[in-house]
């Protein structure tokens, strides 16, 4: 693990922190590899149930380190970089340019967004299952200004998350999207006061970690895997994965009948 990525275990919650203060947490190749490794390790850690993805020093992530990109351009190394990042659709756990962006983990990740989450940093936030955003934080496809494409899932996940109209607005203009608008369009799940995203995301992660995991994870994966499938096929996939959780549901029903969780109490 490089110095720019830290992992802190808080019981069943893993906090992955990106820390490159001098470049607003922009990601270079070594950091991308470290982020990828941290989230693969989280996914295989039997004790960890939920991860929080956090940017240190007041920013989530300013995208790819364009200073490093300029160096590669001068060296004529762009073709080599592209070859390293090529992948096939059926490849298991491929690494993306920003690190974990091509992974579909078996467990949820919550982004704690402060300051800038722009360009590839926005794509990393979109990769997460949920986004907790500070009131002065912002998103934006800022790479539009420099001709840098979205290659970490931005053109796929953004339309799926907020709809084609909003996505085209953001993708084509590259404009800044503040927290209030992000919440309104569904880009953010929670907005919290400045400085509170990390703690709020950890609290949310701890809540998710308390639920019966087998059922929650089955429901989560069904939601991801239904994309692009005809309704009958999607419904069949839901049944095939979730029928194995019915026994847990019956046990939960017995607890409810015994007085637990009434009136929506968690």
90 band by pLDDT with thresholds 50, 70 and 90: confident
User: Is the pLDDT reported for residue 75 higher than 70?
Assistant: no
Q: Is residue 14 within 8 Å of residue 52, measured between CB atoms?
A: yes
How does pLDDT run across 123-153, given as a tens digit for each residue? 999 999 999 999 999 999 999 999 999 999 9
Q: Is residue 100 within 8 Å of residue 27, measured between CB atoms?
A: no
23 band by pLDDT with thresholds 50, 70 and 90: very high
Please state, in angstroms and rounded to a whole number, the distance separating the CA atoms of residues 77 and 113: 32
- Residue the block writes with tokens 């609290």: 203
Share of the chain above pLDDT 70, in %: 87
How does pLDDT run across 209-254, given as a tens digit for each residue? 999 999 999 999 999 999 999 999 999 999 999 999 987 755 655 5
Please state, in angstroms and rounded to a whole number, the distance separating the CA atoms of residues 56 and 5: 10
Residue 222's pLDDT is what?
A: 97
Distance, first Cα to last Cα, the chain:
37
Measured CA distances, 171 to 12, 73, 192 (Å): 36, 24, 25
Please state, in angstroms and rounded to a whole number, the distance separating the CA atoms of residues 172 and 180: 20
Radius of gyration of the chain (CA): 19
How does pLDDT run across 35-62, given as a tens digit for each residue? 999 999 999 999 999 999 999 999 999 9
Alpha helices in the chain (DSSP H): 29-44, 66-75, 78-85, 120-127, 154-162, 164-173, 179-185, 197-210, 213-225, 231-242, 246-257
Burial tier of 262 (Cβ tally within 10 Å: 0-12, 13-18, 19+)? exposed
| 66 Cβ neighbours under 8 A, 6+ residues apart | 26, 146, 148
Please state, in angstroms and rounded to a whole number, the distance separating the CA atoms of residues 34 and 129: 20
């Amino acid at each position: 693990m490089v110095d720019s990525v830290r992992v802190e275990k808080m019981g069943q919650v893993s906090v992955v922190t990106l820390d490159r203060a001098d470049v607003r947490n922009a990601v270079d190749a070594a950091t991308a590899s470290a982020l990828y490794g941290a989230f693969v390790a989280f996914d295989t850690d039997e004790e960890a149930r939920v991860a929080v993805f956090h940017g240190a020093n007041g920013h989530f992530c300013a995208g790819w380190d364009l200073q490093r990109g300029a160096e590669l351009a001068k060296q004529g190394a762009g073709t080599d970089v592209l070859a390293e990042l090529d992948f096939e659709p059926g490849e298991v756990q491929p690494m993306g340019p920003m690190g974990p962006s091509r992974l579909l983990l078996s467990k949820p990740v919550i982004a704690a967004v402060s300051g800038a989450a722009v360009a590839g940093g926005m794509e990393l936030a979109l990769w997460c299952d949920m986004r907790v955003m500070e009131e002065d934080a912002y998103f934006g496809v800022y790479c539009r200004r420099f001709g840098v494409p979205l290659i970490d899932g931005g053109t796929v996940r953004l339309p799926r998350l907020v709809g084609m109209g909003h996505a085209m607005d953001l993708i084509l203009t590259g404009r800044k999207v503040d927290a209030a608008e992000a919440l309104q369009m569904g880009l953010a799940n929670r907005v919290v006061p400045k400085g509170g995203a990390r703690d709020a995301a950890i609290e949310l992660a701890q809540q998710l970690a308390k639920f019966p995991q087998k059922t929650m994870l089955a429901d989560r994966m069904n939601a991801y895997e239904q994309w692009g499938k005809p309704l009958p096929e999607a419904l069949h996939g839901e049944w095939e994965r979730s029928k194995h959780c019915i026994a847990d549901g019956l046990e939960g029903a017995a607890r409810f009948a015994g007085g637990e969780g009434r009136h929506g109490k968690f």
